[in-house]
């Protein structure tokens, strides 16, 4: 593990602080107090937290410290301060999902992912802001997280708070969700690692739904090893989630290496460059050369040719129909409490018939089969992680479907939507910066259950380049 010990402690990796906690060099209580102080002093300008759970966090930190001193060390998350997206149920603490209709909702139980984090000894600092209902626009009653690399820059879609908090050193890891790109876009925009697992690897139980057949939960961190640690903790079968997979969870963090001699990485030059910022394309070509030097075999292949808007038009009806079902208790009975964009999507879902949904599902299967077939020839395919970060006005992000069109047209959905439709895993890692200091990111796409290979590739690249050691100045 390479970590800059000269960095302020809030920018050190989860893996690094975990070792220091285990060895008694860092106190979980002092570490938690330090991060809570940083949140208090910095997050007023970044707006990443919806709810800070300071008292609970300090109580958990004290318990963790006593357990560790007594020789009951639970593992690399024990005593480490993290945060979760405000879609995840937290018993006794409100879970709002960026929704006015849920401003006062307090769950009586923890989401499975939260329970697993607690059982691992994590210190949960709080709940992170997001778009309304985890779609593309924000509700006016909620703040918009601010990208720490530039206040005018887009911070990503629904897991924006998770991306901002992780990048700004306001937690050592966070949970995000991904229905159409919402782990990968904010990971790209904020220069952090985002792992979207295989659908069903991580339980959705106790996580507010956007679209049940598309929703994924995964870690956002400042290193690939850290993402692997969190993934190993939150994954596994859960009988409370009908989509949960029984496949065993690999011990990825223990098998990461710096070489890729037996790895085949697919490259479709037209796919990765069409409509992509040329400077980002150049950065990805540099990634390919690094991977080649690490021993990977670079294989030319052809990915399905899909226009981003065509893919969105296949994805959006499924999302709208399932979102309408998920919000049946409050929509349309409280329609006036929904914001413009999410309200428009729910209205679309309400207008759809079962036949309309079946038609979209048939198209989804066709896209997924073609996509997965292209992935079978290699261990991973390299591409952008949804495009490049761009400047955006706050007012536009509070808009309706028509107003948000100017934002959505920047989304390169050909790099995000297929993996959600097919339920296949991906990982996003930083791969450089523009001349103006905006982050660049690369994404590796893999077959079902290939998280181990994806993390291995991303880790080897990360160790060879150290882009993850560059942090924003707050």
Least Cα distance to 442 among 465, 421, 422 occurs for 465
C-alpha span between 301 and 310 (Å, rounded) = 22
Residue 335: both structure tokens together: 């329609």
> pLDDT at position 3, please?
54
User: Could you give phi then psi for residue 408, rounded to 5 degrees?
Assistant: -65, -30
pLDDT classification of 5: cutoffs 50, 70, 90: low
> pLDDT at position 312, please?
87
C-alpha span between 308 and 359 (Å, rounded) = 19
Q: Is 89 strand, coil or helix?
A: coil
Least Cα distance to 227 among 452, 415, 422, 461 occurs for 452
* Mean pLDDT along residues 16-25: 97
DSSP label of 4:
-
Q: How many CB atoms lie within 10 A of CB 159?
A: 35
Q: Are 25 and 16 contacting, i.e. CB atoms less than 8 angstroms apart? A: no
C-alpha span between 116 and 104 (Å, rounded) = 25
Least Cα distance to 116 among 25, 214, 219 occurs for 219
> pLDDT at position 310, please?
82
Please give the CATH superfamily to which domain 9-469 belongs.
Amidase signature (AS) domain (3.90.1300.10)
Say if residue 326's pLDDT is above 70.
yes
DSSP label of 49:
E
Q: Are 222 and 468 contacting, i.e. CB atoms less than 8 angstroms apart? A: yes
> pLDDT at position 1, please?
41
* Alpha carbon 130 to its chain's center: 11
Question: Length of the chain, please?
Answer: 474
Q: Which residues are catalytic?
A: 85, 158, 182
C-alpha span between 109 and 89 (Å, rounded) = 7
Provide the greatest CA pair distance for the chain.
Answer: 61
| pLDDT, tens only, 172-207 | 999 999 999 999 999 999 999 999 999 999 999 999
Residue extents of the structural domains in the chain:
9-469
| Cα first-last separation, the chain | 26
Region for 139 from its dihedrals, namely left if φ exceeds 0, alpha if ψ lies in -120 to 50, beta otherwise: beta
Say if residue 313's pLDDT is above 90.
no
pTM assigned to the model: 0.97
DSSP per-residue codes, 199-250: TTSB--TTB--S-TTT-EEEEEESSHHHHHHHHHHHBS--TT-TT---SPPP
pLDDT classification of 6: cutoffs 50, 70, 90: low
* Alpha carbon 158 to its chain's center: 9
> pLDDT at position 393, please?
95
| pLDDT, tens only, 341-375 | 999 999 999 999 999 999 999 999 999 999 999 99
Q: Are 148 and 472 contacting, i.e. CB atoms less than 8 angstroms apart? A: yes
* Mean pLDDT along residues 284-309: 94
* Mean pLDDT along residues 377-393: 97
């Amino acid at each position: 593990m390479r970590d800059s010990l000269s960095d302020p402690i809030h920018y050190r990796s989860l893996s690094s602080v975990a070792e220091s906690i285990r060895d008694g060099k860092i106190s979980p209580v002092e570490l938690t107090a330090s991060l809570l102080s940083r949140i208090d002093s910095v997050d007023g300008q970044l707006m990443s937290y919806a709810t800070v759970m300071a008292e609970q966090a300090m109580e958990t930190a004290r318990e963790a410290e006593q357990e560790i001193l007594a020789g009951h060390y639970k593992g690399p998350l024990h005593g480490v301060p993290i945060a979760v997206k405000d879609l995840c149920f937290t018993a006794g603490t409100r879970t709002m999902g960026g929704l006015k209709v849920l401003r006062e909702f307090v769950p009586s139980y923890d989401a499975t992912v939260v329970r697993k984090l607690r059982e691992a000894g994590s210190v949960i600092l709080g709940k992170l802001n997001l778009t309304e209902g985890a779609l593309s626009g924000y509700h006016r009653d909620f703040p918009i997280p601010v990208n720490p690399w530039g206040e005018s820059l887009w911070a990503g879609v629904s897991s924006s708070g998770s991306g901002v908090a992780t990048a700004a050193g306001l937690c050592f890891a966070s949970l995000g969700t991904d229905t159409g790109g919402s782990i990968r876009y904010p990971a790209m925009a904020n220069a952090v690692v985002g792992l979207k697992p295989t659908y069903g690897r991580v339980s959705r139980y106790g996580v507010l739904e956007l679209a049940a057949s598309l929703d994924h939960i995964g870690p956002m961190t400042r290193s690939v090893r850290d993402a692997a640690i969190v993934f190993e903790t939150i994954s596994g079968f859960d009988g409370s989630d009908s989509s949960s997979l029984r496949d065993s969870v690999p011990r990825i963090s223990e098998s990461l290496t710096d070489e890729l001699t037996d790895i085949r990485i697919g490259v479709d030059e037209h796919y990765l460059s069409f409509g992509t910022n040329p400077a980002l394309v150049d950065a990805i070509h540099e990634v390919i050369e690094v991977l080649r030097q690490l021993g990977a075999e670079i294989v030319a292949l052809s990915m399905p040719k899909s226009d981003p808007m065509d893919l969105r038009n296949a994805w959006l009806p499924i999302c709208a129909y399932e979102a309408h079902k998920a919000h049946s208790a409050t929509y349309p009975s409280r329609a006036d409490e929904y914001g413009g964009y999410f309200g428009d999507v729910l209205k679309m879902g309400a207008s759809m018939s079962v036949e309309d949904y079946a038609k979209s599902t048939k198209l989804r299967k066709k896209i997924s089969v073609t996509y997965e077939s292209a992935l079978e020839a290699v261990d991973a395919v390299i591409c952008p992680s949804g495009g490049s970060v761009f400047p955006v006005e706050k007012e536009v992000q509070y808009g309706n479907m028509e107003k948000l069109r100017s934002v959505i047209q920047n989304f390169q959905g050909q790099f995000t939507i297929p993996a959600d439709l097919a339920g296949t895993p991906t990982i996003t890692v930083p791969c450089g910066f523009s001349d103006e200091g905006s982050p660049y990111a690369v994404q590796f796409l893999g077959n079902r259950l290939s998280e181990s290979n994806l993390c291995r590739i991303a880790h080897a690249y990360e160790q060879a380049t150290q882009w993850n050691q560059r942090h924003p100045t707050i």
